[in-house]
Chains A and B, each alone.
Chain A
Amino acid sequence: MNNTIRVNCTKKNLKPIRDFVTEYLTALSLSDILMNQIVLAVDEICANLIIHANHEDPEKYLTLKVQTIKDQVRFEIADQGRAFESSNYKEPNIKEYIRMGKKGGVGIALVNRIMDKVEFLSDGSQNICLLYKKIK
């Protein structure tokens, strides 16, 4: 089974990314809710990379690789944009966001709550986000 997809950094590619992840996960017979959660977590990371790290530059690319290792599924998302600074990350206060009418900022919170482990690595030119989720 093909376990890698490479797309350029446009928001229109989020749908093909979700379809790719859904197709991969379908073989694992997960519940609807778990399947949707995992697809969502990958979508959130890719949306962040496309919009914030690569400013929707169609000349730039990201690569997503998925594999099942023992009882967990592992996603590796690589790009060459601006690295995510996890030390600057603050959990959102949703009530405050509602009061302020704030539109964004809850994506990473979803990812952190859904996945078992989330890592951001960078060597200066290449960034890699690793997502792990136990599925059995």
Chain B
Amino acid sequence: MKITQEIKDNTVIMTLNGELDASSSVLLDEELSDPEIMKYSKVLVNCQDLNYISSAGLGVFISHLQRFEDAQIKLIFFNMQDKVRNVFEILGLDLLMTIVSDYEEARTIANE
């Protein structure tokens, strides 16, 4: 699992590359727990190269959602592969999180 971050216009663009399982999700938790991220009002997560997610990866996002919402930080997922999106859908998480098709749409929603 490789996680990279880019800062652009008060927005964090986080790119996930690889597989998020019980072993690698610790990395994601560390990234999202970094107080630095709370300085930005938008976090866009590029999931194009996220090839797999298990409950451990979902759990990391679930555990940070409320904190982000309380801090009025928009967390938006984009470019998600169908098989990965399906895992969010099985638990109904697609209705509780913002998952959009591409970067342009993510930018538009982030700027609303």
> Considering only CB atoms and an 8 Å cut-off, how many residues of chain B contact the other chain?
28
Alpha-carbon distance A54/B60, docked complex (angstroms): 22
Would you give the shortest CB distance from A56 to chain B, in whole angstroms? Answer: 10
Chain A residues lying within 8 Å of B92, measured Cβ to Cβ, are: 94
Tell me whether B96 is interfacial, beta carbon within 8 Å.
yes
Would you give the shortest CB distance from B77 to chain A, in whole angstroms? Answer: 15
Could you give, for residues 91-116 of chain A, a 1 whenever the CB lies within 8 Å of some chain B CB and a 0 otherwise?
Answer: 00011011111111111011001100
Alpha-carbon distance A107/B59, docked complex (angstroms): 9
Could you give, for residues 35-73 of chain A, a 1 whenever the CB lies within 8 Å of some chain B CB and a 0 otherwise?
Answer: 111011001100100110000000000000000000000
Could you give, for residues 79-97 of chain B, a 1 whenever the CB lies within 8 Å of some chain A CB and a 0 otherwise?
Answer: 0001110110011110010
Q: Is the CB of B59 within 8 A of A103?
A: yes
Given A94-B96, A114-B90, does the pair A15, B58 have CB atoms closer than 8 Å?
no
Q: Is the CB of B55 within 8 A of A44?
A: yes
Tell me whether A18 is interfacial, beta carbon within 8 Å.
yes
> Considering only CB atoms and an 8 Å cut-off, how many residues of chain A contact the other chain?
34
Q: Is the CB of A95 within 8 A of B96?
A: yes
Identify the interface centre among B22, B65, B66, B86: most chain A CB within 10 Å of its CB: B22
Show 26 A/B contacts (Cβ-Cβ < 8 Å), sorted by A.
A11-B21, A12-B23, A14-B22, A14-B54, A18-B52, A33-B83, A36-B52, A43-B22, A43-B54, A51-B22, A94-B62, A94-B91, A94-B92, A94-B93, A97-B62, A98-B65, A98-B66, A99-B66, A101-B62, A101-B63, A102-B63, A103-B29, A104-B55, A106-B59, A110-B91, A114-B90
Write the residues of chain B forming the contact surface with A, with a CB cutoff of 8 angstroms: 19, 21-23, 29, 52, 54-56, 58-60, 62-67, 82-84, 86-87, 90-93, 96
Write the residues of chain A forming the contact surface with B, with a CB cutoff of 8 angstroms: 11-12, 14-15, 18, 32-33, 35-37, 39-40, 43-44, 47, 50-51, 94-95, 97-107, 109-110, 113-114
